[in-house]
Every structure is written in structure tokens, then in C-alpha cells.
Chains A and B, each alone.
Chain A
């Protein structure tokens, strides 16, 4: 266990009194929160926390109204479409409200300690520092920073945070700032700002409900954009961690974002198959880049200097688009489309454009990474070695090395010109198995 839970004294309750944490929460969890949760909120009601329960939904007063629905006094009776709960359970609810609905849930404070690994976790994000000397890699509840010198690598730092999964990593141009986006699935999302030299967390901002995807840093480092499961793009200010705006123009989860070269615009892609161009300072939707895509999009990357993007997903084709149209808009016109690359052997999950602008790396559910000439779209090389699919690819700043990671939990470094395998390593410190089980 990575956390040290410290349960503080939970108030004094008479032994026979009904308890929120022991009597109420289990019932809510089994019967109610499927519909009354943060991401669904049927009737506006969220029953996943004491505060939200108390606040209630559209009908107001969470406690009193809930009892009316549980007893069938209000229709339709709850749980919806099921018989009423047993009378003694409903009586517990009533008794608990009668004594003032006390919140006896233990106040949890967690202190972070470095995790132990018996198996390597999947690698979901990796990024080179601008000087090419360090590689930041996702771990379980942490970002691990390795120094890389030729084929020699060494674990230098472990940045422990609250988020279980780190799904994207970005460095500022000067290499001082490291941003990590992620969260814990179906629980919360988080953006973390780190001082990369000291390994100190500068700040973190949490979002409710679920992880954030495809975090990207604006070229000047002042803003971070993330995609969310509530179909929005959020942007935060690096200096304060404050939310600048959120944009709700997608119709499904947003999985990737990237800023334009000048930082004035940003593109987001997602499961709604759309690539949307936004005004990055105002937080307003400008236009769709693609109009004919039929595939859910998982990843997006930009040309190092120009406003040209490559994106891909479910249908396995990498698509190259311009962020600027060359002619006036017409209905159904795909004017910004430039080129389509080869169909991949699996769904596309990760893309990168080399800093020298010459290469595009495409990876996903296949165990190979394919490299393409960014000007002609012709395949250049194919890097193999992983046991299974790949979730993250990154070119080194000098464009000479490609780092990859995925399901098998290993990092592989390839020579970017011909895919020669340079080295591979497990990025987390492995321990002897302590014999599974719960």
C-alpha cells in the first residue's frame, strides 16, 4: 500500500445510534449511486459524498426527500424499478436523520510514501526534458525521472502525487517546470505542477469525477489544457493553478489537446471523432478542423514549428490536417485535410512529431511503432521489440532517439533514423514478489 491512512477520531456516537459510514453508505453504494453520482446525477442528486447528499438534488433537502422516495411516499419509489428496501433499512435511515444525520465518516489524511512494485505498471506517458538528458515516465501514483546518457539510464527522482494514473507529461521550454495530468479513474482528475530540479510539487488542481486526458502546455508555459470525461476542455493557469475556462463543444470524452505554435489556439480531439480548434486566450470554440472523420480520435501531435497536426484513433489511419483553411468554408468540406498515412495494425494510441520536423511516430494497439517521413508520408522504419501495444512515444529533443512505452511496462529506446534498438529498461524499482493475494 502506498498510502498511510490516518483515521482521526470520528466523534462520539452512542453505540446503538445508526452510523452514516456503517449503516447508510453501504446501502447507498449498493442501491443508489449507480444513478446518483457525479457524472450522472439523476434528478440532480449526487449520493457519493456526505456534503452532496445533504445538499440534495432538484427536490432539495437530500435527507428528507431521499426518505420520502425510499418509503414510496414520493413517486416513482426508489430504488427505481426495484422493490422497496427492507423496512429495517429504511428505519435506519429515518433514525439516522432523526438524530441529526451525523457524519461519522473517518477524516482521512494520506501521507505519501514511495510505492513498491512487484510487477511493472503500464507506461501511459513519457516525455524528454528539453536538454535531452532526462526522461520523465509515468508510474503508479508517481512520475519517475530517469537520467539518460547514451544507453545508460538511471532513476533519479520520484515525484509522488495523489493521482493513481499519470496520463500525460509536459516540460516547459527551459526544462524547469514539469506538468503531469491524470487522476484516479472514476474518482477524480488532477493537474500537477512540479519543480523538476528539486522534485517539489509546486501546486496541484483537482477536478471531480474522473481522470484528465491529453494534458498539454502552451509554448510559453503559462497555460495547461486538458481533456475531460464530461466532454469539456479545461485550461489552467500555471502561475496559480486556477481554472481559466472550460469549453463544452465536444460531444464525448476529450482525449487529446495541443496548442498552436504561437499558443493562441489549441486543438482538442476525442471520442466524438471531432478535432476542434479553440481560441486559447478566450476559451472559445472557433471551428472544426475535420469534417469527414468517421473514427474516434485518441491522440494528436503538432509539427514543431507549423500549425499542422497529426491525429489518429479507432480506424487506425493517421490523418494530417492544417489548422488553417485555404478557402472559404463550405458544408461538408474537408478543406484543412492534407494527407492520410498508412493504416496501422491496431488502434492508434500515441503520436509524436520529431523536433526536427522530419518524422512522425505512430503507435498503438500493435507492438510496433511506425515512423513516417513527415513531408512525403512514406513509411521510413518500423520499430519492434515491445511484447504488446504502446501507449506513449516521444522523440528526444535532438530527434535522434525515440522512447516508447506501453502495456509491457518497459521503456525502449530506438535510434530514430532506422529503429535500431538501443536499450530497454523497467522504469520502476521492482521488488521480489511478496506473494499476491489481498
Chain B
């Protein structure tokens, strides 16, 4: 089985490196097909491993010693257990589809090969992240996906906004990563090991306050990567990257790494329910907060990005309340329908010549029927309508919140479910139905390549049926994760399901009803609430005024006064002294043998003087 582990892990990097060889050359279809094939191989290996792990076996390998210094010993170890294999399958499946999709999506891009190199490198980093058996390996993968995310958001680096967004994402992640590093250091400080099994075995013996700090710091790391409030602004801006990137990294895989971390470190969080409660509250807040921003946004991709944010909030609620398997389940189903939604949005975007304003679309159903159907499926799944995948996972999260007795959380999530349904169908209605506004802009939409559509069908299929695997998923993951006990009555559960479904359905119905009749009137845009929402609660503005401006001023001050006048000046002084000395000493090198000989005699005199007057004390 180790063979499959290594294949699953290293196939992507092989593809990436080979694609990188062609990075400077013009578009080469081979790189796209080759990398896709290797990711597919990785997916197959992951499936084989899934099958193997299903038989109650865990693959644990130590490839080699990596760091061993003093008491510190960090091996390059990988583990395939119930949690990581789920992540592996999800990641490789979505990656395969995104790779194939990208062959069509990026076909006119001059940096086609480079794109695939980055994309495969991302998959490799993600695999390291999920497969590592220790925190250091996790951190390496964590940073690796951060790097690839930076490369891919800034893929069209000639566009100023793209490179700005890439830097924003990277810097925001740095803040989170600092927290994560602190957490890892604390773990090592207290336990003396990075290995998951050792850490989890010894964590119970620690002082609760220490454990709390560890939990908080690790969660700060998760907040950065999963774009939780207040580090959330980068995710919406990250939509500057190519759409397949948004689908893979900023919806399905990388942003869920934070959830994965919490699930993986579940044994730590179980000891500190207060921190878990905080995580859940923050998650619920973000779920509503992000959904509200999605209500009014006009940018196709940003709407989906906010929706991702909101769904991540749901996952954190589940993870924070200790229902790890539900968090993981929602993570998986969400990966399917959200990447489908994004990839469909990519098709729409291509059809609209890169225009993303949903107010300028409408009536695309005729022109792009398959995409419309796929996106509708994804939206229904996202809204959580029976029998699609979202229904099962989202309802479970609501049930957990209710079961836990935190009715406030439940209420927030309940409202969030309605909002989700509304904005999803606002999007669908505005894009695919109604008046054909795009015709005014002289755009002639066209459907994407057939193979692109075919590549998306597995995702659509999974978005429909993934929910039915709930029971086997539950059994499978709770072999490793701690189970969550439902104490609710059956009738209460049924009531909850009914209520949530009704909420979602009414959200959909309202959206359909309203936008069928031409949507809201224009003067809604003058409402204070609308302004607040469309400006993202003025948080980016606040960051700009409160953090960026003072920091820029400080940097300017440091640059002009400290760097230029003190640091540079002193360095320049040294250089000028040496340069001036050299200018003077240059005359020595007249090339005249006689003067050289004289200098030689000077040297002899100096050495003799040293020999006489300098006596080292023996």
C-alpha cells in the first residue's frame, strides 16, 4: 500500500516539474494533458487507499529522517487514515476535474504551461498538508499551498489588481501563520514532539490553560487560511485569479485546510470546549456576515466567494461544537458543489468576454443550457434542498447547533440558510433568466467545449448523490474521530429539517418570484443597509484607514529618515571611504616595476617592524 501512498503524493509534483520545463515556451497541449493524467493517477491511488483504509487499516510510513538535532527529531512521515484519505480523495478528485477544465479554460492564455505547473504544485502541497503525520509537515504543506495560492492569484501578474490581491492574500495568511507557528511551538515546548499520535496521547496531561493557548493559536492559523473574520478580506479579492484557481484553491481545498486542521487537532479542542464555543460562534457570525454581503454584490465570482466564506463558517460551527465528522462531511460535499458552481461561473465569464457583472447578463439559459443546468444543480445543493448533497451536511450542522443548546447559533445558521438560498437563486435568475441585457453590449455568448462540460458532470453527479453516503461516511470517519452524540428527539429533528428546508425553499421562492418580475427597484441602492453591505461593511475601508495608511506613513518615515539618513548613510560612508581609498591606492598600481619594488620594500619594512615590536605573549 505504501506504493500507492507515494504515487498519490508524488505524481502531482512530477507533473508540475515537467510542466515547469515548458514554462517559458508557448502553449503546449501536452503539459495540460500530462499533468491532468498524473493528477488522475493520484486520484486513482487515493481511491485504492480509501478502499484499503476502509478495511480498518492505516498506512503509516516514514520516508526518511528530516530534521534530527539534539532531542528534536522530525521525520518525513506520512499517514493515510480515515481523515486524510477523505481529504486526499476530495482534493484529487476536484483537482483532476479542475485540471481538465483548465485545458479548455486557459486555451488562449499565453502562459498555459506555467499555469499547469503551478496548479499541480498546489495539489502536491495540499497532499503534503493532509498526509503529513506531524505538525511540521502540515506546516510545510500549509506554506506550500499559501505560496501556490499567491502564485496563482497573481497569475496575471501584469494586472495591478491581481498582484495586489495576491500580496494581500499572502500577507493576511502570514498573520494566521504566525499564530499557527506559535501553536506548534507551544506544542513542542510542552510535549516535545510534533507527531500527531504522541501529541494527542500526551495532551490530556497538560495544564488546561496551556491547552487553551495551543487551541487559540492553532485556530488563528486556521482563521488565516480559511479566511474567517477578521482575516476574511483576502478571499473575495483573491477572485482576481483565473477561475479554475478560484474553484480549486479558494473554494474546494485550500481554504478548507483550516477546517481540516481543527478536525485533525480535534483531540486538543475536545479538552477546551470554551475555545470550541468561540470557534463555533465566530463560524456562525461569519456564516451570516458573509451571506449578507453576497446578497447585494454584483460580481459573479465574488458572490460565490462570499458564499464560500459563509459555508466555511458552517464548517467551523460543526468543528467548534465537536461534531468533527459533520464538519468533514460538509467540507467534502461543499467541495463538490462549490467547485461546480465556480467552474460554471468560469464558463459564463468566458461567454461574457470576461465580464463579471451579473446585472449585465440575463437570459443566458438559451445560449448555454448545460452550464445553466449544472450551475442550477450546484445552487440547489448549496441551498440545501433534499435530496442534494448540501441538504444532508448543512442540516446536520443546524441539528448540532440545536442539539448543543446554543439556540442563538442555530438561529444565525437558520437565517444564513435562508440567505444562502436567496443569493444563490438571485445569481441563477440574474444570469440565466430574464431579459437579455448582454445583447446591449454586443456580446455573443457561446457554450464551452463539450469536454469541459463532460468533465463537470462527475461533480454534478456527486453534488446530487454525495448526501446519501452520510451513514457510511459517519461510520468510516468515526473510527478515528470522536463521535458526536445526538440527544434530540426524532420528532424535534424532523421538525428542524422541515423548518430549515422550508426556510431554504422560501428563500429560493422569494428570489425566483422577485427576479422573475424584474427584481428590486433601483432606489434600493440608496438604502443605508444596501450601501453597508455592498461596501462589505466598510471593513476593507477600515483596514485601509486604520492599518494600511498608518503603516504606510510609518514605512515612509522609516524609509526617508531611518533608512536613507542613518542606515544607508552609514553604509555609504563605508563604501565611500573604501572607494576613495581605492582611488588613492590605485596610483600604487602604476604598472612600473621599479615602484612595485619600492612598495615591496615598504612591505618588508612593515613586516620587520612587526617582527621586532610585536611579541605575542606566549
The answer to whether A and B assemble together is no
